[in-house]
Amino acid sequence: MEFRAPDKKTFVVTSENGSGLIRRLALNPLISSEIETASGKEHHDSAIAPDNYTLTLLGEQQVGPYHCFVIQAAPKRKDKYLFEGKLWIDVDDYAVVRIEGRPARRLSFWIERADFVRQYQRIGGFWLPQRDETFVQVRLYGKKVLTIDHQDYVVNGAQNKEVSTPAQEARARAVVGAN
């Protein structure tokens, strides 16, 4: 996966295994949804903001090395680009450390349920995805798991004159596994 801020993600599949039918019906639509969400096209704003969510503070919790606020997020509309679930927000810089939830609206006829966990990591001064796990209940085929481990980040900055800040361009290799 390559991300170019503010709104472009591209994916290159380097290997895949498991059922081709499951990849076509469930996993490929999840990747398409990631691309659409990044581009901001043909859907509502999906930002974690008061316009889209009712946010309720539940308490505080340690997530690895990060002390976090735990927040319940309830979407204000049924939209497949919004989620319902919990957020863990770093108490020092208010960055999202972890998200657990499910889409606010069913993704497709074939995907009965999709629960996800997204973990972030701090690299330098930037918070970037570390691991995504999506647990999908596929109609007629049962439970499947999509795992993406984000690694080998390259944050471009001062060495690239076209980019004004290091946060404007980040590349990551994602190792994708589906069971």
Tell me the pLDDT tens digit for each residue of 96-116. Answer: 999 999 988 877 777 788 899
Please give the C-alpha separations between residue 44 and each of 37, 41, 75, in angstroms, as whole numbers: 9, 8, 12
- Entry pTM: 0.70
Give me the residue spans of the domains in the chain: 2-40+100-178
Task: State phi, psi for 36 to the nearest 5 degrees.
Answer: -65, -40
Asked if the model's pLDDT at residue 164 lies above 60, the reply is no
Cβ contact 3:156 at 8 Å: no
Bridging pattern class, strands 66-75 and 169-178: unpaired
Tell me the pLDDT tens digit for each residue of 56-108. Answer: 999 999 999 999 999 999 999 998 789 999 999 999 999 999 999 998 887 77
